[in-house]
Structure 1
């Protein structure tokens, strides 16, 4: 059976055992491996490797993995499906509250966007992207209003702190949480300022997942970005719950991301 693809039943049993181990730190890993191996007629070492694959899935979607089982990214996507089934059944989803106070205080650095310099993606990146897409991370993040609002609040705090630190408390006091106070139709979430008083219009996209997790962007946001190239910024917050990190994208967005149409408007003739 070694080398054969794992069945859904095998994957489900493995994922359930992994989460049991994750929930109970008193369990002995080697004993858990042997118990699962007996259930599914695989070797204990194969189960251990598969547990590390589960760690990879959890790391990709922003959940804590079991210590001592570092992620191995050479996974079969059927295992990601099994993790998705487990989370759907037991309603365990990544929380939006960060583990520390850094996000609420705005204490993070907005880095330049990651680039590949025309190189093909690594095997690890390709697998993590497949997992993100397979588990619908862009849809999950877009539907998680609490996560989105927490990200916007973090950026508001960041902008106010940055302006105050740079000697412009007057501008810091004028930073506006546009999406909360005026609705989400403006094409940006936060109105901030450069030190010289010029506008900074910031669209915030937040995920608990890794830095290349796909995200949704609306036609209106794209239009506003195009019309305000000098002032519009997209700030991507990632790894939000476990230790927020951030980077910024500037128009034209097509220079940084591949845009895929996901819906169409249907007007009757």
Structure 2
């Protein structure tokens, strides 16, 4: 069994992660292989795979704290106890990062140019990929911070541009199937009707049947949680056979999407985020 990472090694990989995260938030591309190669010089004969996994562990910590994280590192929750305190300590020593996180939640990239839109579709995350929010005992105390992922999710302009990306994808899908007329009839219902509609985009199957689409967009990774309203849940339940949720992710530089069809109450793990209270 591999030895646990030393305190020095953990601090080095955390520092490297934040260097990459800052590059990503600034819209700069970076080479993960080059980062690993440089980092290995500071580590005790760690393999590329073990370094990659440690970066994924840091993503899990960042998601647990509802902070921005590197889109290209999916979360892996089985991390050593020393990792979460090291992340917290780094943030405590660099309080300026919280202002950058807040600013990044407001950033709305232009719709990226994609040569082959149909190649952007991926499979939805598997159940085991979603089991990452495990609380780490022993983490040092950090004063309560805003939920930066929720702040990004509430960014209406980002949502609109994500919807435009999905509309472009849907048009490409129908045109590829030879249904140009149907592609021309796609409607951005979120603008023509508004949130009362319960979905964002009215598209079509190749046989002309309705396809009701809800689009959720993030600049971060594939497993970033998203928010749904009671009205959206109701609509997905009442129109399950024609309902499709498109999750757009990595919207900053490399936008991709996956699709979840049917009743969201059956397809997603739902966690209440607020309550209506009365006395």
**TM-score where L is the length of structure 2:** 0.65
- How does 1:239-258 map onto structure 2 within 5 Å? 239-258=250-269
Runs of 5+ consecutive residues of structure 1 not aligned to the other structure: 5-42, 128-133
Q: 1:237 to 1:137 in 2, by over 3 A?
A: farther
Residue in 2 aligned with 1:97?
Answer: 109
RMSD, matched Cα: 3.6
For residue 166 of structure 1, the aligned residue among 156, 159, 177 is 177
Q: 1:206 to 1:79 in 2, by over 3 A?
A: farther
Contact 1:175 1:191 in 2 (8 A): yes
Runs of 5+ consecutive residues of structure 2 not aligned to the other structure: 37-51, 59-83, 135-144
For residue 96 of structure 2, the aligned residue among 73, 86, 89 is 86
Residue in 2 aligned with 1:208?
Answer: 219
Moved more, 75-84 or 227-236: 75-84
Moved more, 248-257 or 237-246: 248-257
1:51 is the counterpart of 2:24 = no
- How does 1:1-269 map onto structure 2 within 5 Å? 48-55=12-19, 67=31, 68-70=34-36, 72-75=55-58, 76=84, 77-78=87-88, 81-82=91-92, 85-90=95-100, 92-93=103-104, 95-97=107-109, 100-102=112-114, 106=117, 108-116=119-127, 121=131, 125=132, 136-267=147-278
CA distance in 2, matches of 1:259, 1:201: 21
Residue in 2 aligned with 1:40?
Answer: none
Residue in 2 aligned with 1:39?
Answer: none
State the number of aligned residues.
218
SS of equivalent residue, structure 1 residue 210:
coil
SS of equivalent residue, structure 2 residue 195:
coil
**TM-score where L is the length of structure 1:** 0.67
Moved more, 54-63 or 146-155: 54-63
CA distance in 1, matches of 2:241, 2:231: 17
Q: 1:165 to 1:259 in 2, by over 3 A?
A: same
Give the superposition deviation at 1:175: 0.2
SS of equivalent residue, structure 2 residue 252:
helix
Give the superposition deviation at 1:78: 1.0
CA distance in 2, matches of 1:119, 1:93: 25
Q: 1:85 to 1:228 in 2, by over 3 A?
A: farther
Divergent runs of 4+, >3 A: 45-48, 55-68, 79-85, 105-109, 118-121
Give the superposition deviation at 1:110: 2.6
Give the superposition deviation at 1:58: 5.7
